[in-house]
Structure 1
Amino acid sequence: MEKYPFLSPSGRRGYVRSFSDYIEVEYEGEPSSLYLWSQGSGSLYRGSTGFFKSVYEPPLAEKGWSTEAPVEDRVAEVARRHGEKLKGKHVMADLSGGKDSTANLYLLTKLQEIVGFKVTAVYVHMPYLEPVENIAFAEKVASRLGVDLRIVEPDRRKLEFYLLREGLPKRGDRWCTYLKTRALREAKKEIGAEVEAKAERALEAGKRYERLSGLAKRKVYFNGGVVNLVHDLSAAEVAGIVRRAGLVHPHYLQGLPRVSCRFCPYRGLYELEVSSKHEVEDEGLVEWVMARTYRNYYSSVTPLETFLELHLWRYTPSVARLRVLEAGYVDPDSKISLSEARKMFSWIWVGKA
């Protein structure tokens, strides 16, 4: 995950990011420090193990530190470049409630005022995996921006089939993505949209950078039937747009770096701890699936208590075995607390430069 800027209580500028079960903190002019998360705090990590190497992704260079929202100039530029192609079209905007999709929809409504096209936001809710409160926030976003909203979900029978057969989604096997993409595709066909608005950013991760950096450099915002008004922005700039719109998801204010399913396998332990009280539909079913998964695949790897504590369902059994050993590579006397991490990650939503 990319770096998020923050300002410490003493006024020091820094960056924080999370990947897997690690949190990386870097103050300007100093080397970064890595912390392995466990039960309410992160301990300084001093290893370079097989597990670490399997999950590590180097951060992309940060793009500025300002949360100033580039709205008017951006909308005017997109209207000049792509207005004629979008005029009179029906645009389906993918809406998750996260910062990128919310900022993209906000910019889209501003562009709509200049160009003239129809916008329908589509939110795909994932039963059992996603917090139910995300539905209300999607409704709030659509209402505040004055756009039609279609709430859909994957075929429940298929979702339950995968959940019972495969267990919770794992890293490298996110069967949920297929179901969500299919639900979006069906929604686009049902509403008759000709254009899809997707909010992916080049600076989020290495693979997205490879795919989107060319469009960002050429300032192309409408390509192949997809309109993306945020692909070249930093996390801080997107946060500025969302703050300006008054549509900050409450999960960001709690210190979560992203809005996602509660049981997303790409969430780290810090994120899973912060979101542990988020209500999902039929949590008993999820707990039953976890217990069966443990019995079938992980009972020879680690005790059940450790399996649940480290949320090892996110990894294959072989990788889970390596994860258990990471506790031996930390300095227990050098820690970062839950409250400190929350303040770092939430700074771009509440702080001032």
Structure 2
Amino acid sequence: MTSWPMLRPAPLATALWAAAALVGATPALATDFPVTQSQRDTAQKVAQAGVPLSELAPDAPDSYTVKKGDTLWAISTLFLKSPWRWPELWGMNQDQISNPHLIYPGQHLVLVKVDGRARLELAQQVTGPDGTVKLTPRARVQQLGDDGIPAIPMNLIEPFLNEAVVLDSDSLAAAPRVAATQEGRALLSRGDLAYVRGSLPNQQGDYRVFRSAKPLRDPVTKEVLGYEAAYVGTVEFLRPGSPAAGKTLEVPATFLVKQVRQEVNTGDRLAPVPPRSFGSFVPHAPNRAFDGRVIAVYGEAVNAGKNQIVSINKGSQDGMERGHVLALWRTGQEVRDTTTPQGRPEAIRLPDEQHGKLLVFQTFRRVSYALILSVQQPASAGDRFSQP
């Protein structure tokens, strides 16, 4: 009769590092997400200490098995009141492991509580006492692939990494433009040809297509912080045009429409597709105070819920960086107090209430884009945010 294997916790960082070492691998074999210096500092200090029990979520489970589709943020949310304190919970030690993103589906996590503190550890199977099933504590020898769980759901933000663009000035007005369409069509879809006039920086490859940029104004000062270009689609360069010469008319360059978010039209502007950028999206709290506002909900919506995108009025020049977790606040309503001793109602304003979390995933000079991680009420332009 086969007995059920027992589980013994093993330090998470140590076990993962050992698995990599046994196959001659390094953490770089997994997806290379940079680790910030502040995360390393935190990890170094608390690699063995963990977090105080008071920081655990009220219903934190004693154990959890990682599933496909999990994220670092979601798992940390199960265990912590403040998920951005994940380096402390996971006990990351930069001397043992240089990349914390080596958590894989199927791994069993155990919440260990010792001396008023808690940390997550990997559980490994051990030998049964009757000898019918011999299992010893060991690291599973396997190649570390690229299927480790991400920090956040990348599918939610990946389309915006190249599509959401904020320009410091309305430079699209001088960009190459779609001057004519195949057979005079009003709108172009995938597989149609577009004819483009203007100076093309690249005579090959793909270009993004944008519609007229709209100004992003600070909700408080009304100053224009940048120009948001509406993404239309992607076109591929097919052949160059030729300039006008004497009585010979100009021939525009030819492009093939590859993909569309909305149909391409004459007057749309082109910009080269930049290299894909998947920098660090590791959730962490800012190391400085922020007090800003939501500029707008991305797209045509007025209000935004969980997993939608908003623009905010702080950018890289303000110290905003990818991965920053921000608290979202609802402005307190103005109400009338009818309980005054004089019997005359008085106007008062209720305090602001925190009602959500944002994760910054793309920064520009004065504007950033953020994913709504959680929200109790729909977010809208003018909502305040701060450090959590």
TM-score w.r.t. the length of structure 2 is 0.22
By relative contact order (CA 8 Å, sep 6+), the higher-ranking structure is 1
Higher percent of residues as strand: 2
* Structure holding more helix per residue: 1
Larger Rg: 2
TM-score (norm 1): 0.23
